[in-house]
Amino acid sequence: MNVPVSQANRQLSTLAFDPELTPGARNAVNVCLRIQSSEKVTVITDAATKEIAASLIRELENVGSPYRTWVLEDLAPRPLVNLPQEIIDDLETSQVSIFAVQVQANELRTRMQMTDVVNRRKIRHAHMVNINRQIMLEGMRADFSKVDRISTKVVDMVRRAKQIRAKTAAGTDLTADLNPNYRWLKTSGIISPDKWGNLPGGEVFTTPGEVNGTFVIDGVVGDYLCAKFGDLKQNPLTIRVKDNRLSDAHSANKQLEDDFWRYTHTDENSDRVGEFAIGTNVELKDVIGQILQDEKYPGVHIAFGNPYGEHTGAQWFSSTHIDVVGRGFDIWVDSEQIMRAGQFLLEA
């Protein structure tokens, strides 16, 4: 396939990058996406992430895949209002796509526009939101075959379960009653056409039937609030969920409390639990203050807002989606304990 050589292609193909990025980039291209020389790839990046994009492009060139690169700031002002049409049109002719971008406030809608095309065309898509050097050197160097094995064991258990309970020493005590009509998804880092995946990978998730209890968020909160507030270990946000809706949130950091409350009241379903997930990337050692990697850290995380109904089967929608992550979980699937103090009791 002959793909026109864009200015961004030429620029990033020759951009020098830290060779320490190479193992993670190679893992993304060869292991997670398994890109073949016959497949066209769309690479979407931004000015802040060019070096990482250059490392990914080098691996695409080693495979021999045709690709087209897009730098968001070359196409439209940030934060984006809509995904540029040039990118949408390019995605229509690709079998694989990579999104390596630092998110800005209120851009979630544009990412949904992108994943609408990805879902419809069943593109193998690597979602690398807020990817940085640390994640490339840590999470992206994981043994994703091992992560996939533990993810498979976990998803096989939860698909048969009626209830999951999660507790932490910090005070989390959360119960999720599961809806058998909603599907569980496995995104272990091995990406298929059936479901695009975040990289680094390592989680299983569903839309819950109903969640109730307390969640002490001493890890991170998601979307653009993650970059603003980082690791919450010293100043956690404590939330309460009743009948699957956020009912209370408080923190010593009042800005965090206010921003989170405002985000989760954007639309009528922004305060509704749309995702219940178990992180399965056993190669990760701790939360680092980056949601892309931290939601894969072994434990429970939930998200308020959009339930990814096209995958889970949920019949409702929200324009927002924000994950919350804690530390040191004990987890029971029905009556069987599968995690103690953040360590799986299952063999990978």
Tell me: the pLDDT tens digits for 7-45? 889 899 999 999 999 999 999 999 999 999 999 999 999
Degrees to nearest 5, angle at CA 238 with 232 and 244: 125
Cβ–Cβ under 8 Å, residues 300 and 280: no
Cβ atoms < 10 Å from Cβ of 42 = 27
pTM for the model: 0.88
CB 183 within 8 A of CB 275: no
pLDDT in tens, 88-123: 999 999 999 999 999 999 999 999 999 999 999 999
Spatial distance between the Cα atoms of 60 and 78, rounded to a whole number of angstroms: 27
Instruction: Enumerate the domain spans of the chain.
Output: 7-140, 142-344
Cis amide linkage into residue 200, ω under 30° from 0: yes
pLDDT of residue 65: 98
Among 192, 189, 344, 185, which residue's Cα sits nearest to residue 274?
A: 185
- Measured CA to CA, the distance from residue 133 to residue 136 in angstroms comes to 5
Topology of domain 7-140, CATH: Thermophilic metalloprotease-like (3.40.1830)
Q: Per DSSP, what are the bridge partners of residue 75?
A: none
- What percent of the chain lies above the pLDDT cut of 90? 96
DSSP assignment of 248-268, as one string?
EEEES-HHHHHHHHHHTTSST
